[in-house]
Amino acid sequence: MSIRDGLDSICNEACKMFDATLTQYVTWTNDKSLGGIEGSLSKLLAADPTFTMGHVIANGLVLIGTGTSVRLDKKLDSAMKKMVALSESQPLTEREKLHVSALDMFASGRFPKACDVWDQILRDHPTDILALKFAQATYLYMGRQTQMRDSVARVYPYWTPDIPLSSYVKGIYSFGLMETNYFDRAEKLANEALAINQSDAWSVHTIAHINEMKADLKNGLTFMKQTENNWKDCDMLACHNYWHWALYFIEKGDYEAALTIYDNHVSINHFCFYLKSCMLLLGVKVGDRWNKVIPLAKKHTKDHVWLFNDVHILMSLLGVKDHKTTNELLTTLQELAKAPGEDHELGLAPKLGLPLCQALVEFDNGNYDKTVELLYPIRYELLQIGGSNAQRDVFSQLLIHAALNCKSKVYEKLARCLLAERDGLIPDSPLTERLIRKASAVHAMG
């Protein structure tokens, strides 16, 4: 299973720490006895500074996190150059060379090409879980749901129960099935994974999504409460699962319960951008919570690694009316988008990223007609900015709220059409029902 199978020249300690890092990454945990992923990586690189794959996993985990880039981070840029230099000075296997190549492509924003290389690795080495995980994350970033699903489907038969971490592959596969609306198959696989390992936070995550997409609040809330003790210590994913728990309360209209979860479990992590944006659009008073997230947001206004991040950072800036930093984010994105090269995200900025950002600004300024004009033409293209169906729903809500707030009869009719769509997609959604009542009230007033 391990990427280093057959590489006898590499010292045992480096191999052990590579596997420890990989296991923690796959299971969304931090092994405190090893100092977590960070400690494991330090031990790995200290044990064998020339182990190219050690540099691949170390750099890869930083890059896949999308919180920095070689353009802005000199230390990361240097680490990537060192990795490439090492790879060129050693007699590596073809698989190792491909790993270096894929990561180099990702670092330069060539997401689709990076995925092509990871899929190439998986054709010859279907149980290379590092390639599988990196490809999965990158497909998610690009909104390529079918590819995310099928890249796992191709290798799934090779993951027999005797292979370590095989149950986690069930969870990875289930998420792709869920995002492409195969809810029954997704839930079956996720439950199979949980029957093997009840602390599999990613499989919990899939089931949380399924209940949300069905607006099944009763099962959703019960499931999260009953399983909480199993996944709450999976610190790298637990926060996100709590965010899903809060979404059930938002759907239900119990905003105080959602904010309680936010305060206790979500505010410590960058995922709070998502929850707060939902609260903002619903007009819920969030007190000074926006202010507390701004220091983190400001650190990333010039990143522009992933448009999805840019948009959520912008929401936070708008939440505190920070016009200066808002302008900085938009201006730097505009400048980079003028010469995107092969950078996938920057290539999408003119037609998707910037109009979406501008729509948020217009909404915040009360220019609802302009918000609709910007957002409606690109609504079916927003899949390309990535994230899950649940995360992108905030943009659907934005469009509906904008249309409802417009004074034009044309946009009033549009709001009704959008609500009919939503009701057909998620029947019996309390959130949709509240919006329909609001639309009826607006019509009655008109």
Q: Give the residue with greater pLDDT, 442 vs 183.
A: 183
pLDDT at residue number 380: 97
Residues 52-89: tens digit of each pLDDT: 999 999 999 999 999 999 999 999 999 999 999 999 99
Give pLDDT, residue 282: 54
CATH number at residue 233: 1.25.40.10
| pLDDT, tens digit, 9 for 90 and up, residues 408-437 | 888 989 999 999 999 999 999 999 999 999
In a domain, 328, yes or no: no
**Residue 174, domain member (yes or no):** yes
Among 27, 86, 29, 30, smallest CA distance to 53 is for 86
* pLDDT of 272 strictly over 80: no
Specify the pLDDT at position 61. 97
pLDDT given for residue 443 in this prediction: 60
For residue 238, being part of any structural domain is answered with: yes
Tell me the three state secondary structure of residue 25.
helix
Number of domains in the chain: 1
Find out whether 232 and 256 touch, Cβ atoms under 8 Å.
no
Average pLDDT, the chain: 92
> Where residue 407 falls among pLDDT bands split at 50, 70, 90?
confident
pLDDT of residue 51: 95
Range of the domain at 245: 165-259
Residue 191 lies in a domain: yes
Q: Does residue 240 lie within any of the structural domains?
A: yes
pLDDT tens for each residue of 94-152: 999 999 999 999 999 999 999 999 999 999 999 999 999 999 999 999 999 999 999 99
Long-range own/partner contacts, residues 406-415 (CB < 8 A, 24 or more apart): 406/368, 406/369, 406/372, 408/369, 409/446, 411/368, 411/369, 411/372, 412/439, 412/442, 412/443, 412/446, 414/372, 414/376, 415/439, 415/442
pLDDT at site 276:
55
> pTM (2 decimals)?
0.94
Asked if residue 19 is part of any domain, the answer here is no
Predicted pLDDT of residue 263: 86
pLDDT digits (tens, 9 = 90+) for 172-230: 999 999 999 999 999 999 999 999 999 999 999 999 999 999 999 999 999 999 999 99
Q: Does 298 reside within a domain?
A: no
Q: Cα–Cα distance between 139 and 125 in angstroms, integer?
A: 19
What pLDDT was estimated at residue 11?
A: 72
Give the C-alpha separation, 203 to 235, whole Å: 15
pLDDT digits (tens, 9 = 90+) for 343-367: 999 999 999 999 999 999 999 999 9
Classify residue 1: in a domain, yes or no: no
The percentage of residues in the chain with a pLDDT greater than 70, rounded to a whole number, is 93
User: Residue 23 has what pLDDT?
Assistant: 97
